[in-house]
Amino acid sequence: MTESSTDVDVVIVGAGFAGMYELVRMRRAGFSAVVLETADDVGGTWYWNRYPGARCDILSVDYSYSWDPELQQEWTWSERYAAQPEILRYAQFVADKHDLRRDIRFKTRVTSAQWNDETHRWTIHTDTGDDLSCRYYIMATGCLSMPKAPDIEGADRFTGEVYFTSTWPHDGVDFTGRRVAVIGTGSSAIQSIPLIAAEAEQLTVFQRTPNFSIPARNGAISDERMAAFRADPDAYREAARWSGAGVPMDTPVEGALMVSEEERTARYEAMWERSELLGITGTFNDTMSNAESNDTLRHFFHDKIRSIVGDPATAEALCPTNHYVGTKRACLDTNYYETYNLPHVRLVDLRTDPISTITETGIDTTNESFEFDAIVFATGFDAMTGAIVSVDITGRDGVTLKEKWSHGPVTYLGLMTAGFPNLFMITGPGSPSVLSNMMVSIEQHVDWIADTLDHLRKNDLDAIEPTELAETKWVEHSNAFANLGLAVTADSWYMGANVPGKPRVFLPYPGGVGRYRVTCDEVVERGYLGFTLDGPAGRTVNDGIIRPLAPDVQVMLEVMAEMGLPPIESMSVDEARTFMEMSGAMSPPGPEVGEVVDGMLPGADGAELEYRLYRPASDGPHPIVAYFHGGGWVIGSHTSDDAVCRDLCAQSDAIFVSVNYRHAPEARFPAAADDGLAAVTWIAEHAEALGGVPGQLAVAGWSAGANVAAVTAQRAKLAGGPTIVGQVLLNPVTDCDMNTGSYVDNADGYILTKGLMTWFWDHYCDPADRADPKASPLRADDLTDLPPAMIVTCEFDPLRDEGNAYAEALTRAGVPVRHLQAEGQTHTSLGAVGVIVTGAYARAEMADALRNFFGATVRT
């Protein structure tokens, strides 16, 4: 591409690692491409951030390109964590090797870009006055490339030397004999403070928020790591691509509270010694989701800081207390905490003594006036969106990206945004980006974009754009993932909280690099699901949602898939029952209740049935719920829904009596239904003795148990008693028709499959009997005068449609119905107490419905 070309296939903005590799891929694919770059050389982050101590905090062996096998042999890193000059040399080496500079226009800033919907091309404007026209416009502008202007009164008043870590002078700075202020204690400050202190006569650090940092222990790359890499570089890189954060690492299987305190501390010590950023929150599997677990880590850090820093007041000020470990980007340092033991270094805690103004000669805080020769601003970046929206981008119908993102960035996969066809972002918001080894995330995006452009060309298409639905649902999915963890609790730059006025949304995708790659690949495999593809031959809209399951449900299913368990319907009945018991034993126990009592009650055939009673902790008497467990009338018992019973008991403040009704195939239809009525009758008669309020009796159940509960409510009505004041039906079996839409949609997925339901029905009930309302309550002739109902159905459940149909039928019959259709949930997910956080709201609603049935006020 020549300097003067104005009409190209692709314009790439940015010549950091992303833009450089994208250029390589474009060339290889035969597209004409130009890179536009503000700086006068390649390197991006490593061109600009030349402050003392600047270095990567992901091991260099990992933080390097994988796309050039030769390069991996040619280049050897000198240290575990290479310093900025070495990383910049690496970028320059790659640029030389691949002759990249001939297609890069340096000292050229892109100022605006407009989409033309007629020509399907972008016009790109630059500050040099050159305009370019391109089909595809790729923003490789970096996540941490737009320095944040200091929001401090008087910032431009200081007449001494002013430096920004993000745009450090190329010939360095000598602080010898100077009185220096550093404002900020993020990663750049933590790296530079010890080196500035080594030169300066006096160093004063102004800290708003302390951060967590571990010693880098820089030096030669460990033999172990190098051996793993050298033994099989391809396998090593491949493992990184499918890992959680772009570095091959073992995934912890234990939570921090699952081991003894000694064991926990020993593992934290090992993490501290190992000195790898991702190891900090990778010691246990719940550090980023469980506040109590994270606290153990936080206290470990506090102890370390107190043991290093001599002055107790300074040590306390350096201990982060307002955020959990890992919820702001943690740091790697060399002698950071030790630096505060030097006599000429001082920390000013802005939380107790804020800056009132910067003066001509220094800094005034509320309590003190300081004089300085130099001020260093280490005040961070307008992360992830800053560089993108600083270009005035206008998409279809004159809409600007700034307007579209005014409430926070909205993207599909962090790669594209609706209304802006052919505009791609590398490591954009909504992708793993800054939560990962960026090199891995950059390469994945570059490859995906290059493959996509190739696909468009091969199929005679010239425009691609996400659909609104796909994009909205991706944003929801990413937010839902974020809300499962602690990261959203911090005022971090991940949340946009460091920039005044910036909308507070979690910017990166928190689901992990490997999972994200699977998702992007699947989008392609499914014919670019969620995209509109356009070309001379016409337009294809492949609308859809790539990840419709709630994120924790998806993770649970992935874990189960990895375990490779056989389907239940392939087991014998005994095996299936043992399997159910084992999975129950592995599940979290559910909340504490006041008391759990086991007892016996008479079943329909006179034989005794076991029951387990869960009593709330509050003073009784309490209303009673007769509860029927799930398990397809075949498996499970009065204890198998233990966690659900505990949870609903605690939340509804009602006694739960879980009944071990008879099971098929030993006792086929209508044994379970008959036992339901017998149990409810007995419970009503013994309400007082059980600690209940006579007349305050509801039924509840899950799946086949909800079938028993619904049938029992019908039969109690027909029998004239006992009085049932309400029914709570979670994913009920209400009909024997297995050809509904939800059976078709969910035939093979999500644990309860059509095959398993067939297995259950076959064991329970002859086909000839299945239309009986005692088996299919939806088929009852008269649904009037039944107790009010709360019916919960789940989007990904074969039983969804029959549950919905029952809710509608009851409503038509005049029965008050509260109907919750749980999006993104499966047949089993709402019962996974303590595992599926996104399902907790449904159980809260069920408990609320019970309290309403009983007319009770909430007990506190």
**Which residues are near ligand FAD by CB under 6 A?**
13-19, 36-39, 44-45, 47, 49, 54, 56-58, 63, 109-110, 140-145, 188, 387, 391, 426-427, 437-439, 442
Closest CA to 731 of 839, 640, 622: 839
Closest approach of Cβ 701 to ligand FAD, in Å? Answer: 51
How far is Cα 543 from Cα 342, in angstroms, rounded to an integer? Answer: 62
Query: 493 vs 761, which CB is nearer to ligand FAD?
Result: 493
Query: 377 vs 853, which CB is nearer to ligand FAD?
Result: 377
Query: 15 vs 635, which CB is nearer to ligand FAD?
Result: 15
How far is Cα 454 from Cα 461, in angstroms, rounded to an integer? Answer: 10
Query: 47 vs 743, which CB is nearer to ligand FAD?
Result: 47
In which order are the strands placed within the sheet that holds 362-365? 355-358, 362-365, 369-371
Residue whose entry in the numeric block shows the structure tokens 């052919």: 422
Closest approach of Cβ 37 to ligand FAD, in Å? Answer: 5
How far is Cα 253 from Cα 266, in angstroms, rounded to an integer? Answer: 16
Q: What is the 3-class SS of 777-802, one letter each residue?
A: HHHCCCCCCCCCEEEEEEEECCCHHH
Query: 39 vs 699, which CB is nearer to ligand FAD?
Result: 39
Closest approach of Cβ 337 to ligand FAD, in Å? Answer: 20
Closest approach of Cβ 439 to ligand FAD, in Å? Answer: 6
How far is Cα 642 from Cα 123, in angstroms, rounded to an integer? Answer: 63
- Report which residue type is found at 458: K
Interacting residues of 524 by C-beta distance below 8 A, sequence separation 6+ = 448, 451, 452, 455
Closest approach of Cβ 249 to ligand FAD, in Å? Answer: 14
Closest approach of Cβ 300 to ligand FAD, in Å? Answer: 23
Interacting residues of 767 by C-beta distance below 8 A, sequence separation 6+ = none
Closest CA to 91 of 186, 195, 14: 14
Closest approach of Cβ 91 to ligand FAD, in Å? Answer: 9
Closest approach of Cβ 242 to ligand FAD, in Å? Answer: 17
Query: 50 vs 754, which CB is nearer to ligand FAD?
Result: 50
Closest approach of Cβ 489 to ligand FAD, in Å? Answer: 23
Q: Burial, 29: exposed, middle or buried (Cβ in 10 Å; 0-12, 13-18, 19+)?
A: middle
Query: 246 vs 798, which CB is nearer to ligand FAD?
Result: 246
- Cα 689 off chain centre by: 48
Note whether 838 and 553 are within 8 A (CB): yes
Query: 437 vs 652, which CB is nearer to ligand FAD?
Result: 437
Note whether 655 and 623 are within 8 A (CB): yes
Closest approach of Cβ 431 to ligand FAD, in Å? Answer: 11
Query: 18 vs 475, which CB is nearer to ligand FAD?
Result: 18
Closest approach of Cβ 191 to ligand FAD, in Å? Answer: 7
Query: 39 vs 456, which CB is nearer to ligand FAD?
Result: 39
Interacting residues of 315 by C-beta distance below 8 A, sequence separation 6+ = 305, 306, 308, 309, 340
Token pair of 816 as six digits? 């008050």
Q: Burial, 741: exposed, middle or buried (Cβ in 10 Å; 0-12, 13-18, 19+)?
A: exposed
Interacting residues of 145 by C-beta distance below 8 A, sequence separation 6+ = 14, 16, 44, 45, 48, 381, 386, 387
Token pair of 15 as six digits? 């010549």
Query: 243 vs 296, which CB is nearer to ligand FAD?
Result: 243
Query: 145 vs 637, which CB is nearer to ligand FAD?
Result: 145
Closest approach of Cβ 513 to ligand FAD, in Å? Answer: 11
Query: 143 vs 375, which CB is nearer to ligand FAD?
Result: 143
Question: If phi over 0 gives left and psi between -120 and 50 gives alpha, with beta otherwise, what is residue 146?
Answer: beta
Output phi, psi for 712, to 5 deg. Answer: -60, -40
Token pair of 217 as six digits? 């222990």
Closest approach of Cβ 485 to ligand FAD, in Å? Answer: 20
Closest CA to 623 of 859, 327, 842: 859
Closest approach of Cβ 383 to ligand FAD, in Å? Answer: 9
Residues in the chain: 860
Closest approach of Cβ 165 to ligand FAD, in Å? Answer: 7
Closest approach of Cβ 428 to ligand FAD, in Å? Answer: 10
Helix (H, G, I), strand (E, B) or coil at 598: strand
Query: 26 vs 679, which CB is nearer to ligand FAD?
Result: 26
- Helix axis angle for 671-685 and 704-719, nearest 10°, is 60
- Cβ neighbours, 10 Å, residue 720: 7
How far is Cα 324 from Cα 720, in angstroms, rounded to an integer? Answer: 58
Interacting residues of 518 by C-beta distance below 8 A, sequence separation 6+ = none
Closest approach of Cβ 44 to ligand FAD, in Å? Answer: 2
Token pair of 384 as six digits? 């992830």
CA angle in degrees (0–180, nearest 5) for 12-17-20? 45
Closest approach of Cβ 418 to ligand FAD, in Å? Answer: 22
Note whether 162 and 41 are within 8 A (CB): no
Q: Burial, 476: exposed, middle or buried (Cβ in 10 Å; 0-12, 13-18, 19+)?
A: middle
CA angle in degrees (0–180, nearest 5) for 227-228-232? 105
